[in-house]
A and B are shown apart, each in its own frame.
Chain A
């Protein structure tokens, strides 16, 4: 019987066939690059003092530094803006859109929100629906313009401008297909993370960054971290980068953290978004590494940033940008386009470092101004000619 088997059937029936996925995984994993962290070197006083200056400046309450130019926003009154969100269930989206809605009310814009539900197909449908509804302007929030091919083409044909938000670094040029962009200074976030780690480790860090490469803005943020270490402590700060896609955060970030902290030299973890921290912190504790390993991250998300106040928490640094303020910045850019003024290159959205030092005096559950300081609504209204 066995001798009558075809080679293919024999191959398929062979127990070795179960090794195929394993081999494939190893081959694919082998395509990525990784390097073992090297042992850290001596403390560098100059590095620490330079990093400390950067960190202390960024810990202070923020100020409105955006200087316009001013324009008459009344021409935009009554126009309709369609906001296509990458997904509506993120606190981030709700906070930014909340700011945009408030600004739009002041300027007399009508706003329609479309929840892209984290699905490219839905987001594309949202753009096409906005074009069909003859929107005056479309905001693409955290959705790459390059992924909305048919939608962007349709908007272009219909003469509908697109404002992209959070797709690249604030200093990067606007994507082809978009009229203007609004974003955070992600590379500066990365530099501030590096500076915070440098200060916290005495410029003697063996760190692991947990990247999320499916989020395009992770690229400038990671570049900023690398550049920051290169400038501050090229010989004594080691950085290894691992990756966990958003969909895998809940399953991969914990095991990845435990593997990383098994290396006794690792003393800092840098998950690029603080949504990962909820998986990193328990893994550090389970590995009995809370005394040795500290965590620095970005976003200062409501509910997560509060953990900075928890005694003995390894979560030490969280960098944030005021989200309601950011919504007003997107409204500013939109109004400029609708009122036929020239859009600006950078809305200069400020960043603030929160750490265990300043967190104890900040009410994270209060108003955004309690957390970041600064005032912006009246400043924007002055720029728009509404005050």
Chain B
């Protein structure tokens, strides 16, 4: 009797932990049967994996702040500045592309540092600071140049779009960031401190953890990764445009929160975020190939998030019942 119960609890725990991964596989099988070769073609999966590098890098940065118990709503503002800095400096001012990209990266560090100072030093809520900062930097992005700047040095596109094993290099950069963050968050003392600070700031402080440094650092990492996402985006587009970044905010939050329902259930975790990004895009691609368009993307994003979080909670309860 006891054995059967513990087996049941273990099954629920497994379902809770790998539910989204299994749902992802089910989705692939479902659309494979429904659409046949048009969905199962290698080129479809190349599109699925090859187009989400920007969202994944941006989401991973956001995840770091959420682990530390902060919010960063300025990621798309930082990304917008990065996108425009590359275009303005490289195309309009003739800077070498590597220097323009470096300047874009520095802009991310600077934006993150300003956010950190306002949140940590002045004690302002990170939602308020980053909401304002995101709007501010998006406005500055439009102010730098109001429309598209085509003709960014093609070497950046080569560095992002060159294919390796059928996938663009941008995908591998995103995977590299995932692995690096997984290592830091899951396997180092810094990762544990991040979780402690996120779970209870006061206790962490009393335990001797440098809470302010970790909170501020998480905001700097987030903005810096947003800037990297911006550089990758310019490489994908071959141009800079101030309006390209704003659409990423909600998908990034959806991916990070959906990521908490898998791999390390209840925790913001890099591999969970990775799975969430590709689960969502697989479903959307399948629906679009089936003939749906427009509204179905929002329905799938929102519906999947709520359903996954609810199911994860149910399985978690059953596994501990």
Which residues of A are at the interface with B, using a C-beta cutoff of 8 A? 8-9, 12-13, 21, 24-25, 28, 31, 88-89, 112-115, 117-122, 124-125, 128-129, 131-134, 144, 146-150, 152-153, 213-214, 216, 243, 245, 247
In contact, A216 and B147 (Cβ under 8 angstroms): yes
In contact, B147 and A214 (Cβ under 8 angstroms): yes
Residue-wise, chain B 147-164 has the 8 Å CB interface mask toward A (1 for contact) of: 110110000010011000
Q: Which are the 4 A-B pairs with shortest beta-carbon distances?
A: A149-B238, A146-B150, A119-B247, A132-B43
Cβ of B62 within 8 Å of any chain A Cβ, yes or no, is: no
Q: Which of B243-261 contact A (CB under 8 A)?
A: 243-244, 246-248
Cβ of B304 within 8 Å of any chain A Cβ, yes or no, is: no
In contact, B243 and A12 (Cβ under 8 angstroms): no
Can you add 4 more A-B contacts, CB < 8 Å, to A115-B293, A146-B151, A150-B236? A120-B237, A133-B38, A147-B238, A214-B243
Which one of B121, B236, B294 lies within 8 Å of A149 (CB-CB)? Answer: B236
Interface residue stretch chosen among B136-144, B176-184, B262-270: B136-144
In contact, A147 and B148 (Cβ under 8 angstroms): yes
How many Å lie between the Cα of A25 and that of B136 in the bound state?
9
Which residues of B are at the interface with A, using a C-beta cutoff of 8 A? 38, 41, 43-44, 46-47, 50-51, 54-55, 117-118, 121-122, 132, 136, 139-140, 142-143, 146-148, 150-151, 157, 160-161, 168, 233, 235-239, 241-244, 246-248, 285, 288-289, 291, 293-294, 297
In contact, A117 and B247 (Cβ under 8 angstroms): yes
Which one of A13, A25, A122, A125 lies within 8 Å of B122 (CB-CB)? Answer: A13
For the A-B complex, the count of residue pairs with Cβ-Cβ distances under 8 Å equals: 123
In contact, A144 and B44 (Cβ under 8 angstroms): no
In contact, A114 and B288 (Cβ under 8 angstroms): yes
How many Å lie between the Cα of A121 and that of B245 in the bound state?
9
* 10 A–B contacts from the bound complex (CB under 8 Å): A120-B237, A128-B47, A133-B38, A147-B148, A147-B150, A148-B238, A149-B161, A149-B237, A150-B160, A213-B147
In contact, A121 and B54 (Cβ under 8 angstroms): yes
Q: Which residues of A contact B160 (CB under 8 A)?
A: 150
How many Å lie between the Cα of A387 and that of B121 in the bound state?
76
Q: Beyond A133-B289, A146-B238, A150-B168, is A214–B146 a contact (Cβ under 8 Å)? A: yes
Which one of B132, B142, B288 lies within 8 Å of A245 (CB-CB)? Answer: B142
Q: Which residues of B contact A134 (CB under 8 A)?
A: 43
Q: Beyond A88-B293, A146-B239, is A122–B150 a contact (Cβ under 8 Å)? A: no
Q: Which residues of A contact B122 (CB under 8 A)?
A: 12-13
Closest to B285 in A: A129
Q: Which residues of B contact A88 (CB under 8 A)?
A: 293-294
How many Å lie between the Cα of A15 and that of B238 in the bound state?
42
How many Å lie between the Cα of A247 and that of B41 in the bound state?
37
A126 → B minimal CB distance (Å): 8
A314 → B minimal CB distance (Å): 28
How many Å lie between the Cα of A48 and that of B293 in the bound state?
49
Which one of B143, B242, B294 lies within 8 Å of A115 (CB-CB)? Answer: B294
How many Å lie between the Cα of A149 and that of B143 in the bound state?
23
In contact, B239 and A149 (Cβ under 8 angstroms): yes
B123 → A minimal CB distance (Å): 11
Closest to A132 in B: B43
B136 → A minimal CB distance (Å): 6
Q: Beyond A28-B140, A146-B150, A148-B237, is A121–B293 a contact (Cβ under 8 Å)? A: no
Q: Which residues of A contact B41 (CB under 8 A)?
A: 132
Q: Which residues of A contact B235 (CB under 8 A)?
A: 149-150
Among the interface residues B38, B148, B151, which one has the most CB atoms of the partner chain A within 10 A? Answer: B148
Q: Which residues of B contact A216 (CB under 8 A)?
A: 147-148
Q: Which residues of A contact B246 (CB under 8 A)?
A: 247
B285 → A minimal CB distance (Å): 7
Q: Which residues of B contact A31 (CB under 8 A)?
A: 143
How many Å lie between the Cα of A144 and that of B242 in the bound state?
14
In contact, A120 and B244 (Cβ under 8 angstroms): yes
Which one of A21, A113, A214 lies within 8 Å of B136 (CB-CB)? Answer: A21
How many Å lie between the Cα of A307 and that of B187 in the bound state?
65
How many Å lie between the Cα of A247 and that of B244 in the bound state?
12
Q: Beyond A128-B47, A146-B238, A150-B238, is A28–B143 a contact (Cβ under 8 Å)? A: yes
In contact, A150 and B157 (Cβ under 8 angstroms): yes
In contact, B157 and A132 (Cβ under 8 angstroms): no
In contact, A124 and B243 (Cβ under 8 angstroms): no
Among the interface residues A21, A31, A147, which one has the most CB atoms of the partner chain B within 10 A? Answer: A147
Q: Beyond A24-B140, A133-B289, A216-B147, is A147–B239 a contact (Cβ under 8 Å)? A: yes
A110 → B minimal CB distance (Å): 12
In contact, A128 and B148 (Cβ under 8 angstroms): no
How many Å lie between the Cα of A12 and that of B115 in the bound state?
12
Which one of B43, B142, B293 lies within 8 Å of A113 (CB-CB)? Answer: B293
Q: Which residues of B contact A113 (CB under 8 A)?
A: 293
In contact, A121 and B248 (Cβ under 8 angstroms): yes
How many Å lie between the Cα of A9 and that of B212 in the bound state?
14
A307 → B minimal CB distance (Å): 27
Q: Which residues of A contact B43 (CB under 8 A)?
A: 131-134
Closest to A246 in B: B243
A75 → B minimal CB distance (Å): 24
Which one of A9, A128, A133, A245 lies within 8 Å of B243 (CB-CB)? Answer: A245
Which one of A12, A89, A152 lies within 8 Å of B294 (CB-CB)? Answer: A89
